[in-house]
Each structure stands twice: as C-alpha cells, then as structure tokens.
Amino acid sequence: MSNHRPLEGQVALVTGASRGIGFAVAQNLAGLGAKLALCARDPKRLETAAAALEQNGATVLAVPADVRSTGDVETLARKTEQSLGAVEILVNNAGIGIFAPIHEASEEQWDSVLDTNLKAVFLLSRAVAPGMIQRRSGHIVNVASLAGKSAFAGGSIYCASKWGLLGLTQCMAEDLRPYGIRVSAVCPGSVATDFSPHAGKDTRKMLQPEDVAHAVESIVTQAPQSFISEVLIRPAQKP
C-alpha cells in the first residue's frame, strides 16, 4: 500500500464489493487509509474478498446483505457504525444487468434490475445521509454507466435503471450540497469483468476495474472547495 493516505481513518462503505469494480474500489480506498465496510449477497465471495484485503493490512468489516431490502440496509448501516464509526464515504456500486428486447422482458426482470440498480441507491443513501448532514461532510459516489446516456437494442431495462440513477444522483447532489455533502456519479463504458458477456471484444482494450477505482479516488480526494459531480470513462481504443 502507498504511504500517501489522505483517507486515513475514514470509514468507506462499498456495495457489491466481493469482486470486479467493487473490489477494486475497496482495495484502492484501503490503500488510501480508509476503514472498509463491504457488502455483497454471496457470503463466501465476500469473505474471500475481505480476507484478501485484510492480508494487505486493511481494516475490514464484511456484512452479507441484499441492498434491495430495507431491513438488510438498515442492519448494514448500523453494524458499520457500531464496528467502524460513522460512514464518511458511500460507494453505491452494486448492480446487475439483464439485456433483452422490451417485448421479451418480464416484470420480474424489470423489478430485479430497477430494485438493485436504483432503489438500493435510494435506500443506502437515505440510511447514511442523516449522519453526514449532522457532521456537514461526506461523499456519496454512485457507479452509473454510459448506458445512462445512450440507447441500444436490448438495453431498455438496464438503460432505464442507469438513466434513473443519474437523475437521482443529480437531485441528491442538490439536496445535500448545503450540508457539505458531495454526491457524484461515475459512468464507465464496458468494463472487463464477469458482469456481462464480452463476445468478440478484446478485453485488453476494455476498461479495467482499476480505471473506475481511480475515478472514485479522484472524487473522494478532491480539494474541499471543488465538486466533481460526474465522471465519464471510455477506453482509449474501441475494443
């Protein structure tokens, strides 16, 4: 880990943290000195991720949770505060993608994607915002997508969730700015993870999870007087 630790002692809560973007973000924040609360639905994967971070010296609390559940979210927030302290950085990363023509999609698929990608951000942000308001500081970073700005065949449900997430992010930012809380969105293109198939693409040219983690780092380490509200990330070359 780096000796440059601008987040020393701060508490960061990262959702969807057992792999991919979430794990890369957690790893980076730990290197900057943050104490980590990690959540994911799969307890075994979460335990493995937490162990890997602890081996590198990170302070980690792992809490299996379904971020679509109000009860799970409230438990996650409470356990984090009791074990590590007040949440100063929230990274809403958990997300899923289901891709199909709209006339072939089911209501169950709609609910699953919208609840995970959009409702969960509302629930988690609502859980930590009161403490941030009281302290008059904090960061909420929502991992959105370029799919929140572009349309493509088969993307109706996923795009709807990410367009909605960008709208939610911008409104939250205005609600919370008076209290010194900065709410930001990171919008990557396709990232080389197991989130979705990448048939026919050169994954070496695709964005990597570490690229998204770097954007999150830029947001949470910016100067007090600045506000990076949105970051768009594209690969240098089309894969």
Active site residues: 158
DSSP calls for 94-140 = --------GGG--HHHHHHHHIIIIIHHHHHHHHHHHHHHHHT-EEE
Q: How far is CA 236 from the centre of its chain?
A: 23
Q: What letter would DSSP give residue 181?
A: E
Longest Cα separation, the chain: 53
List CB contacts of 66: < 8 A, sequence separation 6 or more.
41, 72
Q: What letter would DSSP give residue 103?
A: G
Token duo for residue 179: 């209290």
| Residue that the structure tokens 């081996």 belong to | 55
| Residue that the structure tokens 């449900």 belong to | 157
Phi/psi for 153 (5° steps) reads: -60, 135
